[in-house]
Amino acid sequence: MHPIVPMAVITVGFSALLWCGMLWLYSGRTMRFVRLVWFGLPLSAIVNLLVKGPLGAGGGDLAGIEPGLGLDTPVWFLIFLFLLAPVFEELIKAMPAVLPQVRRRMGTEGDALWTGMALGMGFGLGEAIYLAWQVVAAGAYAEYPWYAFTGFFGERLLVVFMHAMMTGVLFRIAQRGRPVLGYLAAVGLHALLNSGAMLYQLELAPGWAANAALGVMLVAFALLFDRIRPKRAAAERSEDTVYYSSGS
Partner 1 sequence: MSAPVLATFKPARSYGWVWLLAILLLVAASVLPVFRLGDIPPDERIAIWITIAIMVPLIAFLLATLASIPAMRYDLTNDELLLSCGPLYRYRVPYAEVSDVRRTTLTPTLWSSMRMPGLALGGVMYADIGTVKMCATRMSRDILLVTAGKRRYGLTPADEAGFMATLAPLLPPQQHATER
Which residues contribute to the site for partner 1 (CB under 8 A)? Answer: 10, 14, 21-22, 25-26, 29, 145, 147-148, 150, 153, 222, 225-226, 231-232, 236-237, 239-248
Q: Alpha-carbon distance 122 to 36, whole Å? A: 8
Nearer to partner 1, 203 or 246 (CB): 246
Separation of alpha carbons 198 and 196, rounded Å: 5
- By beta-carbon proximity to partner 1, the closer residue of 15 and 44 is 15
CA angle 131, 120, 132 (to 5 degrees): 10
Q: Tell me the residue type at 75.
A: V
Q: Least distance (Å) from partner 1 to the CB of residue 162?
A: 12
CB of 247 to partner 1, least distance (A): 5
Q: DSSP secondary-structure letter at 231?
A: P
Q: Considering the complex, what minimum distance in angstroms separates the CB of residue 76 from partner 1?
A: 36
CB of 220 to partner 1, least distance (A): 12
Compute how many other C-beta atoms are within 10 angstroms of the C-beta atom of residue 242: 6
- Concatenate the DSSP letters of all residues of 206-227 into one string: -HHHHHHHHHHHHHHHHHHHHH
Nearest to 133 by CA among 195, 196, 41, 57: 41
Q: Within 13 Å, how many C-alpha atoms sit on residue 57's CB side? A: 6
Exposed (0-12), middle (13-18) or buried (19+): which is 190, by Cβ within 10 Å?
Answer: buried
Q: Report angle CA 78, 83, 89 to the nearest 5 degrees.
A: 145
Residue 38 CB, shortest distance to partner 1, in Å, is 22
DSSP helix/strand/coil, 230: coil
Q: Least distance (Å) from partner 1 to the CB of residue 241?
A: 4
Measured distance between the N- and C-terminal CA atoms of the chain, rounded to whole angstroms: 65
Smallest gap, in angstroms, from Cβ of residue 170 to partner 1? 19
